[in-house]
Amino acid sequence: MIIVTGGAGFIGSNFILDWLAQSAEPVLNLDRLTYAGNLENLAAVERDPRYRFERIDICERDAVLALIRQARPRAIVHFAAESHVDRSIMGPGEFVRTNIEGSFALLEATRAYWGECTPAEREAFRFLHVSTDEVYGSLGPNDAAFSETTAYQPNSPYSASKAASDHLVRAYHHTYGLPTLTTNCSNNYGPFQFPEKLIPLMIANALAGKPLPVYGDGLNVRDWLYVGDHCTAIRRVLQAGRCGETYNIGGDNEMPNIEVVRTVCALLDEMRPDPQGPRERLVTYVRDRPGHDRRYAIDARKIAGELGWRPAETFTTGLRQTVRWYLDHQGWVDRVQSGQYKDWIAANYSAR
């Protein structure tokens, strides 16, 4: 079996749903259920005997170790993190706590468990750390895309805390021989993304006829990847990645923010026309994010060449599916925005 941390969040829940659809292997989901954790995302598998959830803070090393010892996983896939740059600017403390101290506690628990395994189990074990391209900092318009050897230059409290966790993972491999893998992925989009991030926020606001807040001049560039493609990349790295290595994952889909917002508006206008006219009228330029990274771009040749991974979706196909998903799941968005999703545990589990 495998353990996933942060499996109630956006990417973690997509990963668990995909995993259980493609493999017979059980999954234990360890999640603290912060504001970003939503068990409703996993409603489709909550009765699946291969799936189990434990509410736990990864900073609680001893309790985490007890769960790992009981589960005896052959791999741990570590998603749990504070993940929103704007929140890290407002309050970096939680980012240091979960992303650095939490990753450290999880590594310590993993090292203790791994040390108790049989030689064959130790050999087969993997700790896969899910990280971000933001650790590399910001690119100029003509700079080469981030490769695995690009120097780290994190600029936000979020990216600095993720960079610190990447370094800890590297050190645990180098010093203790822990069989680690690290992935650094570009911006994801798709189902179950919390509507504080660019794409789901724009969809929700556009449908509500609210302003679409574009930071600065709207020309910051991100390299967008459909979340399902991130999940296939992680599975592939887990299966065949070389221990101690890092793999960049990206969609080869660089796009300025304003173009992303315009494309979202055009798709909504097509799928659910607004009698008041095209949604682009709602675009509102607002004060820039402090320290806003200008451009991210991923050179994904290593994972393509070594592991044969390529994204299945283009931005056009992935964004269309995503807008359709949000249109079909407005109840999910409403419950997230009203805070009602937090009642899910009580409503769903109290009678069991």
**Judged by CB under 6 A, does residue 38 bind ligand TYD?**
no
Contact 156, 291 (CB under 8 A): yes
d(CA 157, CA 152): 14
Whole-Å CA distances, 189 to 87, 198, 251, 267, 325: 18, 9, 11, 15, 11
| Part of the chain binding ligand NAD (CB under 6 A), chosen from 67-75, 77-85, 297-305, 317-325 | 77-85
Q: Which residue has the tokens 């979340």?
A: 227
**Judged by CB under 6 A, does residue 213 bind ligand TYD?**
yes
- All residues at 6 or more sequence positions from 161 whose CB lies less than 8 Å from its CB, including other chains: 81, 82, 88, 92, 95, 96, 99, 100
**Judged by CB under 6 A, does residue 333 bind ligand NAD?**
no
Spatial CA neighbour of 268 closest among 202, 339, 211, 198: 202
158 is catalytic: yes
Residue type, 215: Y
Q: How far is the CB of 222 from ligand TYD (least distance, A)?
A: 5
Residues 233-272 that bind ligand TYD (CB under 6 A): 257
**Judged by CB under 6 A, does residue 220 bind ligand TYD?**
yes
**Judged by CB under 6 A, does residue 34 bind ligand NAD?**
yes
Q: Which of ligand NAD, ligand TYD, none does residue 61 bind (CB under 5 to 8 Å by kind)?
A: none
Contact 64, 6 (CB under 8 A): no
User: Of 81 and 214, which has the nearer Cβ to ligand NAD?
Assistant: 81
Q: What is the DSSP code (8-state) at residue 295?
A: B
Tokens representing residue 152 in the block? 């780290």
Q: Which residue has the tokens 């990274």?
A: 293
Q: Which of ligand NAD, ligand TYD, none does residue 57 bind (CB under 5 to 8 Å by kind)?
A: ligand NAD
Q: How far is the CB of 84 from ligand TYD (least distance, A)?
A: 6
Q: Which of ligand TYD, ligand NAD, none does residue 40 bind (CB under 5 to 8 Å by kind)?
A: none
Out of 36, 71, 107, 198, point to the residue binding ligand TYD (CB under 6 A). Answer: 198
Q: Which of ligand TYD, ligand NAD, none does residue 34 bind (CB under 5 to 8 Å by kind)?
A: ligand NAD
**Judged by CB under 6 A, does residue 225 bind ligand TYD?**
no
Out of 207, 215, 307, 342, point to the residue binding ligand TYD (CB under 6 A). Answer: 215
Out of 8, 17, 145, 268, point to the residue binding ligand NAD (CB under 6 A). Answer: 8
Q: Which of 57, 133, 223, 252 is catalytic?
A: 133
Spatial CA neighbour of 311 closest among 261, 251, 270, 263: 251
d(CA 278, CA 283): 11
Tokens representing residue 33 in the block? 């259920």
- Using CA atoms in the order 308, 25, 80, 341, what is the torsion angle rounded to 10 degrees? 120
Partner residues linked to 247 by β-bridges:
183
18 is catalytic: no
**Judged by CB under 6 A, does residue 345 bind ligand NAD?**
no
Tell me the backbone φ, ψ of residue 82, rounded to 5 degrees: -85, 135
133 is catalytic: yes
Q: Which of ligand NAD, ligand TYD, none does residue 215 bind (CB under 5 to 8 Å by kind)?
A: ligand TYD
Residues 200-239 that bind ligand NAD (CB under 6 A): none
- All residues at 6 or more sequence positions from 47 whose CB lies less than 8 Å from its CB, including other chains: none
Buried b (16+ CB within 10 A) or exposed e, 156-189: bbbbbbbbbbbebbeebbeeeebbbbbbbbbbbb
**Judged by CB under 6 A, does residue 6 bind ligand NAD?**
yes
**Judged by CB under 6 A, does residue 37 bind ligand NAD?**
yes
Q: Which amino acids are annotated catalytic? A: 133-134, 158
- The residues that touch ligand NAD, with contacts defined as CB under 6 A, are 5-6, 8-12, 31-34, 36-37, 57-59, 79-83, 98, 102, 130, 132, 162, 185, 187-188, 194
Using CB under 6 A, list all residues that contact ligand TYD.
85, 187, 197-198, 201, 213-215, 220, 222, 257, 289
